Amino acid sequence: MLERITGMLALIGVLSLFCQWLGWRLRLPAILPLLLCGLLLGPGFGVLDPDTLFGDLLFPIISLGVAVILFEGALTLNFKEIKDHGRMVTHLITIGTLLTWGCATVASHYLLAFDWSLALLFGALVVVTGPTVIVPMLRSVRPKSQLASILRWEGIVIDPIGALLAVLVFEFISVAAAPASHVLSALGSMLSLGIGLGALAGYLLGQVLRHNLLPHYLRNTAVLTLMLGVFVGSNLLQEESGLLSVTLMGVWLANMRGVDIADILEFKETLTVLLISALFILLAARLDSGALMSLGWGGLGVLAVIMLLARPLSVWCSGIGTSLSAADKWFLSWVAPRGIVAAAVSSLFAIKLEALAIAGSELIVPLVFLVIIGTVVIQSLTAGRWAGFLGVEAGSAQGLLIFGASKFCRELAKVLQANGIKVILSDSNWDNIRLARMDNIPVYFGNPASEHAETYLDLTGIGRVLIMSPYRQLNPLVNFHYQDMLGSTKVFGLNNIDPGSARHQLSEAYLKRLCLFGEAVSYAKLASLMAKGAVIKSTHLTESFGFNDFKQRYGEGALPLIYLKDNKLVVVTANEALPLPDDIELISLITVEALQEAREQALLQQQAQQQAQQQVQQQEAEVAAGAEATT
């Protein structure tokens, strides 16, 4: 038996990794292959029966997994970011949430005869979308930047809000179903303990992190352990209050000033990927195919109400007073896939509701999974065509993500922005990021190939990546990450390889991309030129003043970087054929000596023109004087 449990755990781990890879490779939400894998292992072939395999341990496993997922989601709920992302996002997570909750509640009550309390719980479970399903869909659909930003931030922010709403509804149901006579008193004590303990734990942990009372290597482990301790302790003090406590604990940490949770959040996200994958396979394997089929037309009716009534109603009501067009609102009305939070929380609550003998609780999980399957599959297959029909697809992505925020990168970004090109600078050096922000350049602080960047780095409109950082160990990682995402021809790096280094240890595919701005151009060379006063200049080349004239003016002191032609951006590399075409906007780095020489040449040309003009005027005066003498 022990060997079987060990083998199944290993199998779930391997399949989880494979499903995540498959979702990434196919540019689809990983929830689809995970769901299919779980259904095949469980109801399909009967290989995996979580209840038999884990027995009494199943509930603690699911319970702790959901606690980690909710805590990680709550860490992303920064109230300042809600304000910073526009009225539409704020309306969707408030007005839209209430409308979706109401529509789903009414639909499940009348179409499936759910009790009102159970219907309210189901409605709360399906208000969430989530970045794990939204972000992969946006990559394949590529709508306009504004629409992509709205959907991304709605998914990020509504995850913890929806989960908190579901927890509150469940707290009410669990207390109301108990034989206690003082329901409101019991509910009040549960909410008081959950909110109070969560806020207190968040504050105390924030103080520990703020004053660096833990060594760096223990920070992530300590936060995870303390969070689980708060979850278990809260449940011991007041049954069912643990989820509320850890959710409030995460929200408090996310909004506490002076507490840096970036590395904690990245660790939690890495852990959550594993938990989400394994948990979703287990949950899908527990799904009763008979119960799913028993939903019949009523279940499909609920799905139709959520997709065709609740979502459009919430979008159009939320869009009142915004600048969104009708096409924008119709697109947003169609894209709202449900994800892992709904599946995990519903499965946990279903187990608890069955223990409380709540009628109809056995249908909660199949119905939530039906909504997940329906929204993810249907919208993944149709969102691209719908965006094309409405005309809300983004044009050719001409923007740049630059890894590195040195002075050269900042100056290049400013010139590109002046020419209407979207630029994002990413760096793990806070001083560079701070200086870039002072120049009003969009930035991402951290590793752009991290899990955190997967969710929070808005790549809408970004078509190429330039790697210009001094971090030699991190550069290849970023290079390969974005080659996989955008294609090998869209990523370029500087040639920072030392001539004496072991080049054979680096792959040929990587070395071929180290051609940015020319064969011998390195980070050190660019930094040295900028330190000596070189400037980045934009020059319009025409038929009368072409590239050869440009080279004649500046000589070898000009390094072409990028040019714009017909609203398209072209990065100059060692593979770029010279001379460059005419009628372009050329962005180049020009040394101080070349600028000085060009100024001297211009001054000499101006003096020569003045002398020539004076000679012409003198000749004309002499001719006029001779003509007057003749008469």
Query: Is residue 500 predicted with pLDDT exceeding 90?
Result: no
Single out the residue of 347, 437, 448, 458 nearest to residue 125, CA to CA: 347
Report the alpha-carbon distance of residue 376 to residue 129 in Å, rounded: 10
Average pLDDT of the segment spanning 54-60: 79
Please give the C-alpha separations between residue 235 and each of 58, 63, 245, 246, 391, in angstroms, as whole numbers. Answer: 17, 11, 9, 11, 51
Strands 423-427 and 399-403: parallel
pLDDT at 105: 94
Please state the pTM of the whole predicted model: 0.68
Band (pLDDT 50/70/90 cuts) for residue 463 is confident
- How many CA atoms does the CB half-sphere of 16 hold within 13 Å? 20
pLDDT score for 108: 93
pLDDT above 60: residue 471: yes
Residues 6+ apart with CB under 8 A from 117: 169, 172, 173, 176, 358
Beta bridge partners of 443: 425
Averaged pLDDT, 288-307: 87
Residue 56: DSSP 8-state? G
Residue 579: cis peptide before it, omega within 30 degrees of 0: yes
Q: Which of 72-81, 140-149, 186-195, 430-439 has the highest mean pLDDT?
A: 430-439
Q: What confidence category does residue 185 fall into, taking pLDDT thresholds of 50, 70 and 90?
A: low
What are the φ and ψ backbone dihedral angles of 30, each rounded to 5 degrees? -60, -15
Contacts (Cβ under 8 Å, ≥6 apart) of 591: 529, 532, 534, 557, 558
Q: How many CB atoms lie within 10 A of CB 405?
A: 30
Contact 346, 364 (CB under 8 A): yes
Angle at 623 between CA 619 and CA 624, to 5 degrees: 115
Q: How far apart, in whole angstroms, are the C-alpha atoms of residue 517 and residue 527?
A: 14
For residue 182, what pLDDT band results from cuts at 50, 70 and 90? Answer: very low
Handedness of CA 603, 608, 609, 615 (dihedral sign): positive
The token pair at 473 is 């160990």
pLDDT at 412: 92
Lowest mean pLDDT among 131-145, 395-409, 454-468, 550-564: 131-145
Per-residue pLDDT at 54: 79
| Beta carbons within 8 Å of 102's beta carbon, 6+ residues apart | 123
Average pLDDT over every residue of 512-519 = 78
Q: What does pLDDT average to over the chain? A: 81
Dihedral of CA atoms 368, 372, 378, 379 in degrees, nearest 10, equals 120
- Where helices occur in 507-573 by DSSP H, the ranges are 508-512, 523-531, 547-554
**What tokens were used for 229?**
């301790």
Tell me, what amino acid is at 370?
L
d(CA 50, CA 52): 6
Q: Tens of pLDDT along 324-381? A: 889 999 999 999 888 777 877 788 788 778 777 777 778 888 898 889 888 888 888 8
Tokens at 160, concatenated? 């913890």
% of the chain surpassing 90 pLDDT: 13
Tell me: pLDDT of 315 over 90. yes
Q: How far is CA 178 from the centre of its chain?
A: 42
Tokens in use for 23?
A: 């979702």
